[in-house]
């Protein structure tokens, strides 16, 4: 997978450019759709008792605002029920995010998942391209996510303009964080004007995180091995695996089915 090696997303003039082929983004779309992380993270909220009260900055807006988007319906056709995920055919639907939206998404994604040593940032493994593939796909789940994600991105630009008279991409890293900090989580300390965007941002965060961990770099970071060839005879489960299985069976009242060597 080709990485995005242009300017760092914190640098002035940064513009996201995907280094991913459409075939690769389609494969990751399938991996993301199958991810068990997606439904969990899309609605996750940080426990209210473990965070400091959210205090809006002096320049924060005092009233709720929300972009009313007029989105063109997705008209492409899907793959059907049995796509060839090894060699996917040419996608029947176009990608829909604009260059400006992708750049904004890359900046936000790198705030959520910055580079950490040898672990790349979200934009470096083309998470924005995966999200673009996701919200452009003509399926019910993806089309439910599309207005939420695009509205959240538009809200960030609107809020940045009201606070700092510039779009989010043109703000300094510190200015960006003053906005993100106000909408990071929806709990009892979140000011009322940020409740709706906090929910949408939670959805965006979950999608970005799930997309990152669907990439080879993301799965490597969490130590996921997956299916790998085994040379020689299959050795069978380890003693630790058997012990864990027997423990679970006992807790379920199924000790009679425990493994016996």
pLDDT in tens, 9-34: 888 889 999 888 888 888 888 888 87
Rg of the chain in Å (alpha carbons): 21
What is the separation of C-alpha 175 from the centre of its chain, rounded to a whole number of angstroms?
22
Share of residues in the chain with pLDDT > 70 (%): 77
Identify the DSSP state of 116. B
pTM greater than 0.75 (yes/no): no
Residue 236: what pLDDT? 81
Distance CA 204, CA 101 (A): 13
Length of the chain: 261
Q: Please give the angle made by the CA atoms of 210, 212 and 217, to the nearest 5 degrees.
A: 135
> What's the average model confidence in pLDDT over 68-80?
77
Give φ, ψ of 22 to 5 degrees: -65, -35
Name the 3-class secondary structure at 238. Answer: coil
Give the closest residue to 110 by CA, choosing from 215, 233, 19, 9: 9
Name the 3-class secondary structure at 119. Answer: strand
Structure-token match 């439910």, residue found: 144
97 in Cβ contact with 134 (< 8 Å): no
Give the closest residue to 179 by CA, choosing from 163, 166, 196: 163
The answer on pLDDT for 221 being more than 70 is no
Residue 224: what pLDDT? 58
The answer on pLDDT for 50 being more than 50 is no
Structure-token match 């998942």, residue found: 113
Distance CA 108, CA 115 (A): 13
The answer on pLDDT for 51 being more than 50 is no
Structure-token match 């319906």, residue found: 73
Give the closest residue to 128 by CA, choosing from 150, 156, 159: 150
Share of residues in the chain with pLDDT > 90 (%): 39
Residue 168: what pLDDT? 97
For residues 199, 108, 219, 86, the Cα torsion angle rounded to the nearest 10 degrees is: 90
Higher pLDDT, 117 or 165: 165
Interhelix angle 22-33/195-214, nearest 10 degrees = 110
What's the Cα-to-Cα distance from 230 to each of 12, 200, 234, 236, 241, rounded to whole Å?
49, 44, 7, 11, 18
Distance CA 77, CA 136 (A): 11
Distance CA 75, CA 64 (A): 33
């Amino acid at each position: 997978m080709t990485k995005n090696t242009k300017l760092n997303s914190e640098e002035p003039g940064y513009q996201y450019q995907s280094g991913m082929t459409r075939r690769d983004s389609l494969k990751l779309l399938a991996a993301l759709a199958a991810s068990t992380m997606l439904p969990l993270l899309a609605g996750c909220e940080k426990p209210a008792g473990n965070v400091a009260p959210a205090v809006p900055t002096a320049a924060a807006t005092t009233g709720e605002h929300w972009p009313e988007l007029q989105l063109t319906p997705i008209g492409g056709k899907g793959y059907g029920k049995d796509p060839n995920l090894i060699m996917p055919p040419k996608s029947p639907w176009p990608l829909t995010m604009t260059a400006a939206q992708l750049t904004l998404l890359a900046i936000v994604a790198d705030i959520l998942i910055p580079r950490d040593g040898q672990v790349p940032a979200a934009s470096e493994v083309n998470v924005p391209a995966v999200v673009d593939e996701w919200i452009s796909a003509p399926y019910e789940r993806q089309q439910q996510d599309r207005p939420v994600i695009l509205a959240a991105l538009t809200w960030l630009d609107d809020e940045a303009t009201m606070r700092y008279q510039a779009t989010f991409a043109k703000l300094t890293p510190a200015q960006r964080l003053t906005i993100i900090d106000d909408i990071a989580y929806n709990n009892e300390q979140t000011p009322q004007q940020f409740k709706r965007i906090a929910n949408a941002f939670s959805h965006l965060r979950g999608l970005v995180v799930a997309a990152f961990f669907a990439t080879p770099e993301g799965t490597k970071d969490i130590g996921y091995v997956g299916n790998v060839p085994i040379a020689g005879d299959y050795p069978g489960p380890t003693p630790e695996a058997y012990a864990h299985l027997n423990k679970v069976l006992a807790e379920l009242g199924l000790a009679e089915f425990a493994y016996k060597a």
